[in-house]
Structure 1
């Protein structure tokens, strides 16, 4: 504790009930005086305010870093999706050019593939498609 020379005297107006509660803590010997109680409370609250500012700053910084990481990942995935779509388009054109498939069969194939992708939740398995085409399943 600081000596009296380092202290400033001032008056404070507080609710009577709050002061009675404070006096109970003094009577229970949690602190020695109202001055000590007020000093402890003030230190605690100022520490809380300081940590709150630090917490807000850290949360903003962390949020910014996370958003940047998510955006970078999203951009990489979008570029990869684009590259895959180009390769798939090339594959579709080659197959269409080399195989004679009529529109009705193409429509049936589209519906079958749509149903299959929904059923397997997009986890395409080449071996299963091969066995289906060879009627091994």
Structure 2
């Protein structure tokens, strides 16, 4: 137990023993109708943990992207003099484009679009 509980990502030896007992109970219940009653809560807990972890990673990634986008927006606004009408048209064009391309933005295509030639 001393060697394995940390390797199993358990915070304590007690948590490790609880997991081991649950595993053994599942082993004893295999091929018995009671297995469904045992597995349903285990699967729900496992799925909930996966979803929660994914949600946290996505939230952190979106926060970082928003910070970078804010910095880029402020830099562009500082170096370019764009009138309100052009800004409104640009936002509408970008909204339509993002809907059309399903949010997958390609920098090279944007550069080619913006070139006058």
Task: State if a TM-score over 0.5 links the two structures.
Answer: yes
Aligned to 1:117: 98
Moved over 4 A (4+): none
Count of residues in correspondence between the two structures = 87
What is the alpha-carbon distance in structure 2 between the residues aligned to residue 135 and residue 84 of structure 1?
30
When Rg is computed on C-alpha atoms for both structures, the one with the higher figure is 1
In structure 2, stretches of 5+ residues that fail to align are 1-30
Q: Secondary structure at the match of 1:51?
A: coil
1:62-105 CA distance string (max 9 Å, x none): 11111101111111101110110011001100100011111110
In structure 1, stretches of 5+ residues that fail to align are 1-49
What is the alpha-carbon distance in structure 1 between the residues aligned to residue 74 and residue 68 of structure 2?
10
TM-score (norm 1): 0.60
What is the alpha-carbon distance in structure 1 between the residues aligned to residue 116 and residue 78 of structure 2?
24
Aligned to 2:77: 96
What is the alpha-carbon distance in structure 1 between the residues aligned to residue 36 and residue 83 of structure 2?
65
> What do you get for the CA RMSD once the two structures are aligned?
1.3
1:45-77 CA distance string (max 9 Å, x none): xxxxx8232222112101111110111111110
The reply to whether residue 82 of structure 1 matches residue 63 of structure 2 is yes
What is the alpha-carbon distance in structure 2 between the residues aligned to residue 67 and residue 83 of structure 1?
24
Aligned to 2:89: 108
